[in-house]
Chain A
């Protein structure tokens, strides 16, 4: 399989309502994440091609590390990619195709028909995937808490002292921005005056007594996600030789 970005050369450029460049579509896909790994599907290497026709018909092809990757997360990625693309200016019709997966037909058909997870997996699911997504956002908040707090601890901060800090007290960094975004997505406090260390379910500041254990859970959650990312990348590379569009090495 070859990774391609294709824009139909005959398409009109520049005018309002004209189709987006394939690179624009790809940039939009960077906002779609694997919910388990909390990483863009582009940097994970899951996007193999992205084509835009003169009329604005846009097709994106996705792949995953194994034939049996969990169908609920696969559905979320395909559905999120569809939602992102179909709202781009100039896109007349969006199509997202997950390839080489045991549930490709159910997922691709279900997303194309906008029928939701329960209907796409008739009789095999009882609710949509909002709860699952929230559970994994909370894991991302825990992992992000470790990413932000570990450098502070390494710099000599006492664990209990972290409780006095707000998000605004922490120097700006990419992990901090990411933590704020995940907290905001969950409806948790994410402003400058919000406490740094909170319970990811209630949003309440963690108690002094609970903070050592909380930070240890944050660390193991981060390590778990990162180790899984390593395994997924290794499996993907065994399955497909070619890199995906926007694929990056693990940081």
Chain B
């Protein structure tokens, strides 16, 4: 039995939609008269699918889609649109609606759309439960100097870490910022060997990026990203094929004297948002560690005799 919440301020439309839905005995139908009431209902009882009108007082359908997407990401929303609202339907899909159905096509399309969306929603919930059961995961990527793949990679890593319960939404964003900075460093300063001090002249900086993207030896270099996830921590190792650098030579970007220098800000943000950040001796591989709920282990006591 699937619980469907119909949200519409028109009593006539609520009844009509309810009648179509009750043709399927496996659907339990409940009603709300606006977005606010729908959100209150979501807090009280489990809902498998929301079917909402667009134009409503208080919280309208589009706003409801955004809120449900943020706060109940596993609950799909189908928008019911009137003729002439196709543009808003597209906006709703961008905002995270699972689908939309025209009100004048309800008799033909409603049940079909509801069944399709419920089926996808059920698979997503099962996948989410399965991911919560994962205890360890190790995988790696080898990427060319292709920025187009970096954002999907970061989203994938954020989703995997989040699904395993390693972090909440806020931490997920922070992990994303740190990974972006690490990948940007590995690409621009590692593989392409571009000095961060050139950053002050944006046009010259990006002209050099474009030049080196197509020139040997930079063109043929790769980045490797090794990931180890467990119930305790997430470990990311990002390695470039550049000549490396000595991170201790970077100016401290928090020193007021260095505030205007571009160097070191990326590493500063990596250190800010990860629990551990360490470079290898060459300076072409960085290891980023995030502990579950920030629970880093206490420092290990030093063994052996103290240095004299």
A binds B: no
Q: Residues of B with Cβ closer than 8 Å to A? A: none
Which residues of A are interface residues toward B (Cβ below 8 A)? none
